[in-house]
Amino acid sequence: MNFIQLEQNIISKKTFLCLGLDTDIDKIPNHLLNSQDPVFDFNKSLVDRLSSKIVAVKINTAFYESRGKDGWSSLEKSIDYIKSNHPDLFTIADAKRADIGNTSEMYAKAFFEKMNFDSITLSPYMGEDSVKEFLKYDDKYAILLALTSNHGANDFQLPNDLFLDVISKSQKWNNSQKLMYVVGATKSDYLEKIRDITKDNFLLIPGIGTQGGNLQQTIANSTKLNKRILINMSRSIIYASNGVNYLDSAEKVVDDFNLKSF
Amino acid sequence: MNFIQLEQNIISKKTFLCLGLDTDIDKIPNHLLNSQDPVFDFNKSLVDRLSSKIVAVKINTAFYESRGKDGWSSLEKSIDYIKSNHPDLFTIADAKRADIGNTSEMYAKAFFEKMNFDSITLSPYMGEDSVKEFLKYDDKYAILLALTSNHGANDFQLPNDLFLDVISKSQKWNNSQKLMYVVGATKSDYLEKIRDITKDNFLLIPGIGTQGGNLQQTIANSTKLNKRILINMSRSIIYASNGVNYLDSAEKVVDDFNLKSF
């Protein structure tokens, strides 16, 4: 899916919401645990229920890797299912990768070929040649960490305005139209400034929900020019309840969010 | 294994060498391809042949992820085999991870519990709270990217001396004695300065071999105080030949390296 289609979906579905599947097998409802692949079943049920009310799905690879090759299998099954059954959802591998060129080429193969994600999150620390392998694919996107939602953003991203340097330098790279940027809702004060230098690129915004970012200010500061933002929520939706009616609880959080945000 | 034992192994084995298993199934000798898990067999054969002449093994996760769950299985088998049969080798997951706290906790589980790596490489971009989960384990190490061997190090690491800021700030974190740092041999001019502020921490040095870093200058500038460095070589050893005698060719590269470097 390309970013023009994604923006159209946002407008027609009236939602910026990206569903974060940080699926922890220790937190999913008990009644699912007897199936062969509870994590996949949980993911499938959430996406099937919510697909008309979200535009994107972000799968956080750490939660799958923590279960070894069984977890990797749940990851592959989840992305395959979403791509086959919900082709209108933009998919994000939240993997925070990037390495020297020949290694990044392998990560791009893993997430764009072996699996068919539309995009992947990357750390910019190693610079252009660690990112460019991901930008060679048609209609695939590299989402650079710029200003993250966690406290540690104060350590290196904010001093000397490193996050602005990341954005402005990367805007000059080849295929920069295929870049997106992570900007935490907990840093919404900076969104207007960031929007000024990334007019056309999508922003992926975590930090609403469990992390406590301000929704109204986030939207006000990032959507003056266009609607190219994705707001991710993970835990506050997928663990809204862990009873048998967890899907009803999740849907209620999604409905409330969409009502407040669009 | 802790870093004191690692230093003793370096002194007794007279080598700084870390064997990099960037194992690409398209590049391994043809005669191995009929086995059930050629990548594991290739890794096993190299480690068995070279174990007395190296002190560490670094497994580059990208090359395994590119083959999906089969690749993840080869990764798990490789680390299990090395830990069980060569307990004197320090093991590194070259994974370049790090994320917000609850996600980093999952990555730590994946690489330190589900698998039993001694250490993992991390990108410092997201700051202290993205690293600290990895530092809670006894005798496990977090290897922060500081100044990498690739051209892209010029983009963000060198401007404003970000790499020095990463090192000096992280030296003040809790458990900083369990940090190590990646410094590329292609940047050996900076090693003396880096050594001044990381007197006790190990440095992991890639960039010798295929990437062209200067071996003599690298060693001279980093071992004045102690022998706490690991020099990684991957492609130049493991693909020294792809014929039936690939182990002889690999061992010759290792012997030459050890002769020149210790």
User: ipTM of this model?
Assistant: 0.97
The whole-angstrom separation of Cα B106 and Cα B99 is 10
Asked if the model's pLDDT at residue A10 lies above 80, the reply is yes
Least confident of A60-69, A206-215, B115-124: A206-215
Instruction: Please enumerate in sequence order all residues whose Cβ is within 8 A of that of A219, keeping only pairs 6 or more positions apart, or say none.
Output: A16, A229, A231, A261
Instruction: Please enumerate in sequence order all residues whose Cβ is within 8 A of that of A173, keeping only pairs 6 or more positions apart, or say none.
Output: A128, A131, A132, A135, A179
pTM of the model as a whole:
0.97
Instruction: Please enumerate in sequence order all residues whose Cβ is within 8 A of that of A171, keeping only pairs 6 or more positions apart, or say none.
Output: A179, A197, A198, A201
pLDDT at B31: 94
- To the nearest whole Å, the CA of A238 is away from the closest chain B CA by 15
The model's confidence at residue A83, banded by pLDDT at 50, 70 and 90, is very high
- To the nearest whole Å, the CA of A12 is away from the closest chain B CA by 32
In the three-class reduction of DSSP (H, G, I as helix; E, B as strand; rest coil), residue B123 is classed as: coil
pLDDT at B211: 79
Block means of pLDDT (10 residues each) for chain B, 262 residues, are 96 98 96 96 98 98 97 98 98 98 97 98 98 97 97 97 98 97 93 92 92 89 94 96 96 97 91
Mean pLDDT of A82-89: 98
pLDDT tens digits for range A241-250 = 999 999 999 9
Asked if the model's pLDDT at residue A75 lies above 90, the reply is yes
Instruction: Please report residues of B whose CB lies closer than 8 A to that of A94.
Output: 99
pLDDT at A209: 78
CB A137 within 8 A of CB A112: yes
Instruction: Please enumerate in sequence order all residues whose Cβ is within 8 A of that of A229, keeping only pairs 6 or more positions apart, or say none.
Output: A16, A202, A203, A204, A205, A219, A222, A223
Check the CA dihedral B154-B159-B162-B163 and report its sign: positive
Alpha-helical regions (H) of chain A: 3-13, 38-50, 61-65, 68-85, 101-108, 128-131, 153-156, 162-170, 191-197, 215-222, 235-238, 246-261
Domains of chain A, by residue range, sit at 3-261
Instruction: Please enumerate in sequence order all residues whose Cβ is within 8 A of that of B245, keeping only pairs 6 or more positions apart, or say none.
Output: none
The whole-angstrom separation of Cα B217 and Cα B200 is 20
Choosing from B14, B83, B96, B193, the catalytic residue is B96
- Judged by CB atoms closer than 8 Å, whether chains meet at B129 and A115 is answered as no
Residue B96 is a catalytic residue: yes
- To the nearest whole Å, the CA of A8 is away from the closest chain B CA by 30
Asked if the model's pLDDT at residue A1 lies above 80, the reply is yes
pLDDT at B209: 78
Asked if the model's pLDDT at residue A59 lies above 80, the reply is yes
The model's confidence at residue A45, banded by pLDDT at 50, 70 and 90, is very high
- Judged by CB atoms closer than 8 Å, whether chains meet at A68 and B124 is answered as no
pLDDT at A104: 98
Chain A within 8 Å of B65 (Cβ-Cβ)?
Answer: yes
The closest of B153, B171, B93, B61 to A125, measured between CA atoms, is B153
In the three-class reduction of DSSP (H, G, I as helix; E, B as strand; rest coil), residue A246 is classed as: helix
Chain A within 8 Å of B103 (Cβ-Cβ)?
Answer: yes
- To the nearest whole Å, the CA of B217 is away from the closest chain A CA by 22
**A contact residues 109-138, partner B, Cβ 8 Å cutoff:** 109-111, 113-115, 123-131
- Judged by CB atoms closer than 8 Å, whether chains meet at A127 and B96 is answered as no
β B229-233/B203-205 pair status? parallel
**B contact residues 220-259, partner A, Cβ 8 Å cutoff:** none
Helices A246-261 and A215-222 pack at an angle, to 10 degrees, of: 50
CATH H-level, domain A3-261: superfamily: Aldolase class I (3.20.20.70)
- Judged by CB atoms closer than 8 Å, whether chains meet at B62 and A110 is answered as yes
The whole-angstrom separation of Cα B211 and Cα A233 is 41
Among chain A residues, the shortest Cα distance to B65 is held by A110
| One-letter identity of residue B198 | T
Helices B215-222 and B246-261 pack at an angle, to 10 degrees, of: 50
